[in-house]
């Protein structure tokens, strides 16, 4: 190869290397060929954001970090200047976060839009400023997950504590440590209960008492058996009376009519005697005896009327109501 061809090949390789370097620098954002506007962030710490970090708005790449520097005056220790693409409008009220890159391991600036947008955007003349700490998205997501899963349990525990607070106050009062100290403490109550249990145990261990209790139980069981037998007999009697109620009613009706006729006849006889007719009437001249005979006649008439009403009741309702308690 002559010298001329060699020099030409070296020149071509140098030009290719320079072009490749320019392309790489532009791809990595080191050469800014676009018209970008500046966004300033004032924060107490960088949260891992550096000069090579990217800027994302709701996950979309919108620019990069231009410089990160410290601030000697003011309440904020770090100033971060981001270069935002000229066609990007950032809504007001965005939240500044840092998100770790899985490839490079460095943090990027993540701007999250508010849930409810007002339609207003930050100025693009370089005066836009965001002030406040930059929170990590990983820490925020972990906090939200913990709140979502443990929050209901913590709420339930808090409600349980509020519900059991009066119980704790009552226990404190029993122990004599609460506001009310006039009553007996828990120790005195337990001692008294132990004394009562000891007395009950000694009472139950008495052989005479156990024997008497056993005899009483046997007598009670025998009494219950007799009561059951009596109830069964009474039930059979009630069933028999209910079955034969019509026959008994008819017989009682006949007996009532015969008894009523006899009472009427006796009443007539008593009337004749009270008038002094016949031999028997001549003997009954005592006024006191006459008065007693008249009262007896009236009682017999009332008895006859009661028998008649009882017979009518048996015809209509049977014998059951008469023998029910």
pLDDT at 68: 92
pTM: 0.41
As beta bridge partners, residue 43 has: 78
Helix (H, G, I), strand (E, B) or coil at 19: helix
pLDDT at 102: 66
Two tokens at 289?
């005896």
Distance CA 233, CA 151 (A): 71
Q: Is 82 left (phi over 0), alpha (psi -120 to 50) or beta?
A: beta
CA distances from 166 to 161, 170, 176 (A): 9, 6, 15
Residue 284's Cα: distance from chain center in Å? Answer: 93
Two tokens at 143?
């906090």
Q: What angle (nearest 5°) sits at the alpha carbon of residue 204, between those of residues 201 and 206?
A: 115
CA distances from 6 to 2, 12, 13 (A): 6, 10, 11
CA atoms within 13 A on the CB side of 215: 5
Which residues does 109 contact at the CB level (< 8 Å), separation at least 6? 41, 49, 53, 54, 55, 56, 65, 80, 82, 96, 97, 98, 134
Distance CA 245, CA 251 (A): 10
Distance CA 213, CA 219 (A): 10
pLDDT at 181: 46
As beta bridge partners, residue 241 has: none
CA distances from 48 to 10, 211, 265 (A): 43, 90, 132
- Residue 81, H or E segment: strand 78-84
pLDDT average per 10 residues of sequence, the chain (325 residues)? 76 88 74 76 90 89 90 89 90 90 76 88 90 87 81 80 74 57 58 74 70 77 81 76 66 72 70 60 56 70 77 70 54
């Amino acid at each position: 190869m002559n010298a001329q061809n060699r020099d030409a090949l070296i020149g071509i390789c140098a030009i290719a290397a320079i072009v490749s370097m320019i392309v790489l620098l532009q791809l990595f954002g080191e050469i800014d060929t676009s018209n970008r506007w500046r966004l300033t962030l004032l924060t107490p710490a960088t949260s891992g954001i550096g000069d090579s970090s990217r800027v994302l708005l709701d996950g979309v790449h919108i620019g990069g970090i231009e410089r990160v520097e410290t601030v000697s005056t003011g309440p904020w220790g770090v100033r971060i200047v981001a270069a935002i693409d000229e066609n990007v409008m950032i809504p007001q009220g965005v939240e500044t976060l840092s998100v770790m890159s899985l490839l490079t391991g460095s943090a990027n600036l993540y701007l999250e839009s508010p849930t409810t947008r007002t339609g207003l955007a930050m100025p693009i003349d370089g005066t836009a400023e965001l002030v406040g700490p930059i929170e990590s998205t990983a820490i925020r997501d972990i906090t939200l997950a913990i709140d979502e899963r443990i929050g209901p349990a913590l709420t339930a525990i808090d409600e349980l504590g509020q519900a059991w607070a009066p119980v704790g106050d009552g226990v404190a009062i029993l122990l004599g440590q609460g506001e009310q100290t006039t009553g007996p403490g828990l120790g005195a109550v337990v001692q008294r209960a132990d004394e009562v249990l000891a007395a009950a145990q000694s009472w139950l261990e008495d052989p005479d008492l156990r024997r008497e209790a056993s005899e009483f139980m046997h007598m009670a069981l025998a009494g219950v058996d007799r009561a059951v037998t009596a109830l069964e007999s009474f039930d059979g009697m009630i069933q028999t009376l209910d079955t034969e109620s019509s026959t008994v009613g008819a017989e009682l009706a006949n007996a009532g009519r015969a008894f009523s006729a006899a009472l009427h006849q006796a009443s007539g006889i008593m009337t004749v005697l009270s008038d002094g007719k016949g031999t028997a009437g001549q003997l009954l001249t005592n006024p006191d005896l006459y008065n007693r005979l008249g009262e007896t006649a009236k009682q017999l008439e009332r008895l006859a009327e009661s028998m008649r009403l009882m017979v009518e009741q048996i015809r209509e309702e049977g014998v059951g109501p008469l023998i029910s308690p």
